[in-house]
Amino acid sequence: MWVMWKRNRFVFTTHEVIDQFISSLVTDLISGESRKVMCVYASNSNIERRDLWRRMTQIFAGWRGPGMVMGDFSTIIIHSEAFEGAPNCGDMEEFDMAIGEADLVEPSVQENWFTWTSKIHGSGLMRRLDRILVNDEGLSAWPNMRVNVLPWGISDHSSILVYPSYQWSQRVVSFRFFNHWVEDSSFLDVVSSIWTRDSRVSSIVSFVKNLRNLKPILRNHFDKHIQTISEDVRLAKDTMDQAQREVEINPLSEELSNQASLATVNFWRMFVRSRQSSNALRSVVDPNGTQLTNHDQVTQVVDNYLKNTLRFQNIGYKELSPSIEDIVQFRWTDECYQALQALIGREEVRRVMFFMDSGKAPGPDGYSVGFFKGA
């Protein structure tokens, strides 16, 4: 693998060099900004690629700042990235899962869609094996990034040109506040450390700026409590990889083949279980006030609730009249009219805020009701 750069413009500091990637820190000598860059040349072996996916996830999970991954990944994500041939669905799912675990996204691509061709006359085999991936901070630092895939030349791979932008993005960057952060003893100190009042702008503008500036602080302080994948699944995957390596070394061993099969089944069972546990309803309170944790009992209570709530009801309607007074059968009192015209006070805002459930879905900025109640 060759990596070239302009020495009079950039400093390329190598962090890790292995067969499938080069991890580095690229510093712009003009702006002084540093970016994590990972150059990839993935193996043709799906077992060896799993090591690459694992390291990619580990590197970007611990990186704070704009980062980019580029190169030949030797696999695709979706079926539309292949023309002719039969893609391996397992490889596609593992690659897609690794991208999600590393919190990477792909900028929009222009010109050619496929980046590799077999160049065998009459085969027509094409794949989208080469790509550019960036993290959330990268999207924020390069909001107008453009990726152009050039036509094929001598090589069976296309050249890709990346045009980053160093303009600051004003759009919303992916962020989510977790309500359990409020329970941390340092939560209020973290919020207070960044919260200021800018007298040059209105209160609402100052409020929005504080929320935006607080996001990276909350990420850096509390993200260490979030694991990207459960330890049980990670151990099962390591066991599966080791068993498959042993089979490659000694393919005629029936015992090793059986062990590899069992390890593979165990990994996918653990993976599915971890996904199900994150979405499962573990307990429920029945109409008598008793908390139930047994799966069958929880299922029965939910089933009865939905049947009683959504059961068929005979509802009679009056014949529609052209007069609105005949349709709307209520009148507002004088107190309601006065309440609508009254100014909104701090106490009313406080009552409404604390009346709302902390687990309500967050808004587009990622902040939940639990944040505002806790702060």
Mean pLDDT, residues 10-36: 85
How confident is residue 161, by pLDDT bands cut at 50, 70 and 90? Answer: confident
For residues 173 and 341, the model is more confident at 341
| pLDDT for residue 171 is more than 50 | no
How confident is residue 254, by pLDDT bands cut at 50, 70 and 90? Answer: confident
**Looking at 25-39, 63-77, 261-275, which range is the least confident one?**
261-275
Q: What pLDDT is stored for residue 166 in this prediction?
A: 43
1.20.1250.30, 3.60.21.10, 3.60.10.10, 1.10.150.120: CATH of 10-163 = 3.60.10.10
Domain ranges of the chain: 10-163, 231-280, 282-314, 315-374
Q: What pLDDT is stored for residue 311 in this prediction?
A: 61
Q: Which residue(s) pair with 3 in the sheet? A: none
- Exposed (0-12), middle (13-18) or buried (19+): which is 87, by Cβ within 10 Å? middle
**Looking at 86-90, 224-228, 336-340, which range is the least confident one?**
224-228
Mean pLDDT, residues 235-249: 79
From the centroid of its chain, how far is CA 92? 17
Q: What pLDDT is stored for residue 169 in this prediction?
A: 43
Q: What pLDDT is stored for residue 64 in this prediction?
A: 78
Mean pLDDT, residues 132-142: 83
Q: What pLDDT is stored for residue 196 in this prediction?
A: 83
| pLDDT for residue 172 is more than 50 | no
Q: What pLDDT is stored for residue 271 in this prediction?
A: 67
For residues 220 and 312, the model is more confident at 220
User: pLDDT for 202-232, tens place per residue?
Assistant: 777 788 888 888 888 887 777 654 444 456 6
| pLDDT for residue 281 is more than 50 | yes
How confident is residue 46, by pLDDT bands cut at 50, 70 and 90? Answer: confident
| pLDDT for residue 121 is more than 80 | no
For residues 48 and 272, the model is more confident at 48
Q: What pLDDT is stored for residue 6 in this prediction?
A: 81
Q: What pLDDT is stored for residue 326 in this prediction?
A: 62
**Looking at 23-27, 265-269, 327-331, which range is the least confident one?**
327-331
User: Is this structure's pTM higher than 0.75?
Assistant: no
152-160 long-range contacts, CB within 8 A, separation 24+: 152/117, 152/119, 156/116, 156/117, 156/118, 156/119, 157/72, 157/115, 157/116, 157/129, 157/130, 158/112, 158/114, 158/115, 158/116, 158/130, 160/70, 160/115, 160/130, 160/131, 160/132
For residues 13 and 32, the model is more confident at 13
Please give the full DSSP string across 101-124, using - where no structure is assigned: HTTEE---EEE-S--EE---TTT-
Residues in the chain: 375
- Exposed (0-12), middle (13-18) or buried (19+): which is 260, by Cβ within 10 Å? buried
**What element of type H or E holds 290?**
none
**Strands laid side by side in the 104-105 sheet:** 10-17, 21-28, 34-41, 67-72, 130-135, 104-105
